[in-house]
Amino acid sequence: MPPKLTGPPQGWQPPTHMNSASLAQQKANSSGISEFELPKSNLTKLAKGSVPDNVKMQQDVTIALLRGSTLFINYLTSAAHDQAVSRSGKTITASDVIKAITELDFGPSDALVPLLEQELQAYRNHIQAAKLAKKSAANANKNKGPRKSSGTVNDGEGDVGMVDDDEEGEGENDNEEEDEEEDIVEGADETRDGNGLGVGDESEIVQGQREGEDEEI
C-alpha cells in the first residue's frame, strides 16, 4: 500500500507572489474614505476663515466637513481624469477640473465657474510674483559680488603701487648717499694733493732727508 499523505511536505510554503497579490487585492477592497482624507489642519483653517470669529465649531462639525470635502474632491478628481483621457492627455489640468464641474452640475455652474476662474488667476499671479521676486533677489546678490571683489582688487593694487614708490625712493636715497661718499673721498684726495701731503710727496720728502744726512756725514 502506498503511504498516506497527511499534509504538505516539511518546509513547503506557498509562492510569495500569490500571497502578495491576494493581500494587495484585499487591502484595496477594504480601503475606506479615512485613507483618502484631506489634511485636517488646512481644512479647519478654511472653515474658520469662512465664519465669524465668535462662531465655534464642534468636533462633529469638523469631522463632517472633512469627510464631505474628501468625498467631493475625490469625485471631482475622477471626473477631471475622464476629461483628460477624452482629450488623450496624461495630466489633469485646471481646464479639465472646470469642465468636470460644469458636467457634474454641482449647483449653478454659471456662478461657480467664474468664481473658480477668478481664484485660479489670482493664484497664478501670486506664483508669478513670487518667481519674479526670487529672480530679482538673485540678480541683486549676483551684482553685489563683482563690485565687492573689484574694490578689493583695486585696494590691493594701490598698496602695491605705494610699496613700489617707497622702494624706488629708498633706492634713490642709497644711490645719492653712495655718490656723496665718493665725492667726499675724491675731495679728500684732492685736498691732500693740494697741501703737498700726498703719498708720493711724503716718500720724496723722506728720501731728501736721507740724502741730506749722507752729505753731512
Question: Can you tell me whether residue 107 is helix, strand or coil?
Answer: coil
pLDDT tens-place string over residues 160-178: 444 444 444 445 455 555 5
Please determine, for residue 217, whether its predicted confidence score (pLDDT) is greater than 70: no
CB 110, CB 134: distance < 8 Å: no
Residues 27/29/30/36 CA torsion (nearest 10 deg)? 90
Residue 150: name the closest of 158, 139, 140 by CA: 158
pLDDT value for 158: 43
| Gap between the Cα atoms of 207 and 196, Å rounded | 15
Residue 7 has what pLDDT?
62
d(CA 57, CA 107): 25
Place of cell 476629461: 83
Least confident of 11-25, 38-52, 137-151: 11-25
AA identity, residue 158: G
3-state helix, strand, coil in the chain (%, to 5): 80, 0, 20
pLDDT tens digit sequence for 55-109:
888 888 888 988 888 888 888 999 999 999 998 988 999 999 988 988 887 766 6
Q: What is the pTM of this model?
A: 0.47
- pLDDT bin (cut points 50, 70, 90) of residue 188 is very low
Query: Band of the pLDDT at 199, cuts 50, 70, 90?
Result: very low
Q: What is the pLDDT of residue 47?
A: 86
Q: Residue 206's pLDDT is what? A: 47
pLDDT at 44: 86
Query: What would the mean pLDDT of 101-122 be, rounded to a whole number?
Result: 83
CA atoms of 129 and 124, how far apart (whole Å): 9
The pLDDT, as a whole number, for residue 55 is 85
Q: What is the mean pLDDT of residues 21-49?
A: 76
Interval 180-206 mean pLDDT: 47
* 113 contacts 98 by C-beta, under 8 angstroms: yes
pLDDT at 135 exceeding the cut of 80: yes
